[in-house]
Amino acid sequence: MEYAHLGRTGLKVSRLCLGTMNFGPETSEADAFRIMDAALDHGINFFDTANVYGWKIGEGVTESIIGRWFAQGGGRREKVVLATKVYGEMGKWPNQSRLSAAHIRQACEDSLRRLQTDHIELYQMHHVDRGTPWEEIWQAMEVLVQQGKIVYVGSSNFAGWHIAQANEIARSRHFLGLVSEQSKYNLLTRHVELEVLPACERYGVGVIPWSPLAGGVLALSGRLGGATQSRRTGEFTRAARELHAERLERYGALCRELGEEPADVAIAWLLTRPAVCSPIIGPRTLEQLTTSLRALEIKLSPETLSALDSIFPGMKTAPEEYAW
């Protein structure tokens, strides 16, 4: 396994991050345990979750599964760089969502209880909260750091200017600020190249791409799962394949020339991108976890990278993308 620093920090994380969103709704607890054990066996030390995963309001289903896995001992908790998130709705009362200091405090306590741990390495804001001032957010995060309940703070789904604003205000408070950003980023969805990636590079923020396969579209696989969520995913995948049919056909031909699986090439490409430290893989099965490891071994040549850009054009840094 290869490791990279998480942004400008000294913390080292595996070049693949284990996403756990399927644990509970799609993957049984027993299978989730096997996947997490195998991830450690392969050197994956970076696990990502969220308090809303499991999609039962207020229950924290996925965090609870991870907590019971930690409770087995065997050094599991000590080996894991644990990332979870705050923002989503955890109840129907007014202050049970978003990023007020009150909700951040309560959400962190609840996540710690479910995860059966006394600290979280990376506490991420799942979305930007335009209704809460940064001074309030940072004050709440500073208290959690001082209490030893969290170590670093990250963001997810932020715009470039949000990252700049957040870190400038953190700087004025002599606080470390954001060290990571989780963004939707893949060959088909390259909008973050406009302003998010440049902001992350400037501020030393590590990028953690989610949906690296564009919801399975870039895997070019006919396999679709069961259950309600997978049916929705299947409908999205079919529509996206029809929309991008010509490009996907060219992509498949390129992958055949390389002798590699399209899913592995898509993740290998992300690993070449500036500021990216760990793309998130979200396996439903143990087989999906182990096959994803091939991406770490693929080294894409400049010619291949150029070919990928011709199939899936990227974006220049703003303002050159749209102005002189």
* Catalytic entry in 3, 53, 251, 322: 53
The answer to whether residues 146 and 175 touch, using CB atoms and an 8 Å cutoff, is no
Q: Name the 3-class secondary structure at 91.
A: coil
Q: How many CA atoms lie within 13 A of 282 on its CB side?
A: 23
Phi-psi region of 171 (alpha: psi -120 to 50; beta: other; left: phi over 0): alpha
Nearest to 126 by CA among 170, 88, 167: 88
Phi and psi (nearest 5°) for 262? -55, -40
- Measured N-to-C along each axis, helices 245-258 and 227-243 cross at an angle, to the nearest 10 degrees, of 90
* Token digits of residue 133: 């001032």
Return d(Cα 52, Cα 201) in angstroms, integer: 29
What are the angstrom distances between the C-alpha of 41 and each of 32, 35, 105, 292?
A: 14, 10, 34, 14
**Which distant-in-sequence residues (6+ apart) come within 8 Å of 128 by Cβ?**
155, 157, 158, 159, 162
Q: Is 290 exposed, middle or buried (0-12, 13-18, 19+ CB in 10 A)?
A: middle
For the beta carbon of residue 50, count every other beta carbon within 10 angstroms: 23
- The answer to whether residue 322 is catalytic is no
* Token digits of residue 33: 């345990």
* Token digits of residue 44: 């994956």
Q: How many CA atoms lie within 13 A of 283 on its CB side?
A: 21
CA dihedral for 239, 240, 246, 251, sign (positive or negative)? negative
Return d(Cα 22, Cα 53) in angstroms, integer: 8
Active site residues: 53
